[in-house]
Homo-oligomer: A and B are copies of this chain.
Amino acid sequence: MDLISGSADPHFQPVALEKAYRLLNHGPTVLVSAADGAERNVMAAAWACALDFSPPKVTVVLDKATRTRALVEASGRFALQLPTVPIAALAVELGTLSALQHPDKLARLGVQLFDAPGQQTPLVAGCAAWLECRLVPEPHNQQSYDLFIGEVTGAWADDRVFRDGHWHFETAPQALRTLHYVAGGHFYAIGEAIDVPVPKV
């Protein structure tokens, strides 16, 4: 199957901001993209998490040794996106090579970026969902814990796998399953649906 390669793809659809937390709720590994002026970069992060429903907020841990962190601090913006099974190797490469040692990192890895309408941060093609964020500056968290907070200003998903506020992994193509990283090139894809009753309170 074809993965989304740009915002003109008819499967690239907006997600209501009040449902944006659901894109991260199941704990996927993310790619973090950021830009400052003409410079753009992308890294991988397993440590990203939802923080609030409305307005939706997220946390992400960005090591001081990464170039992407510097771009986030300079621009006050970043995007999180959920890589899919076919780009697992790219996710590891993006998390292993640094633009500080390899200024041509994105070209070398063949990363395809695109812009979402009205947004300022480049997004990575081939993902299942995307969240653009405004940095909520918290210098103590950033300095002491490498912990960054963002408020989600735009969210999109591939509507074959997320639509009407719900994931549809059970009926979507296998290639759209999200990745959940452990270590050393070892991931798990998200698996089978499990539905249980919600008790009345």
Question: Hey, which bits of chain A sit against chain B, CB under 8 A?
Answer: 22, 25-29, 46-52, 57, 59, 61, 85, 88-89, 92-93, 96-98, 101, 140-141, 145-147, 149, 166-167, 169, 177, 179-199, 201
Closest to A183 in B: B22
How many copies are assembled? Answer: 2
> Once the chains bind, are A182 and B26 in contact (CB under 8 Å)?
yes
Interface pair B25/A183, CB less than 8 Å apart: yes
Residues of B within 8 Å of A177, CB to CB, are 191
Query: Given that A26-B182, A27-B180, A50-B46 are contacting pairs, would A169 and B196 also be in contact in the complex, using a CB cutoff of 8 Å?
Result: no
A199 to chain B minimum Cβ distance, whole angstroms, is: 5
- Which of B146, B195, B201 is the one whose CB lies under 8 Å from A186? B195
Q: Which residue of B lies closest to A26 (CB)?
A: B180
Indicate if the CB atoms of B198 and A185 lie closer than 8 Å: yes
Complex CA distance for A187 and B145, rounded to whole angstroms: 30
Name the distance in Å between A165's Cβ and chain B's nearest Cβ: 8
Q: Measured between alpha carbons, how far is A190 from B199 in the docked complex, in Å?
A: 24
B194 touches A179 (CB 8 A): yes
B182 and A187 contacting across the interface, CB-CB below 8 Å? no
Q: How far apart are the CA atoms of A89 and B198 in the complex, in Å? A: 8
The residue on B at minimum CB distance from A188 is B190
Q: Which residue of A27, A29, A46, A177 has the most chain B CB atoms within 10 A of its CB atom?
A: A27
Known: A167-B186, A185-B197, A187-B193. 7 other contacts (CB 8 A): A25-B180, A49-B49, A96-B199, A145-B149, A188-B193, A189-B194, A191-B191
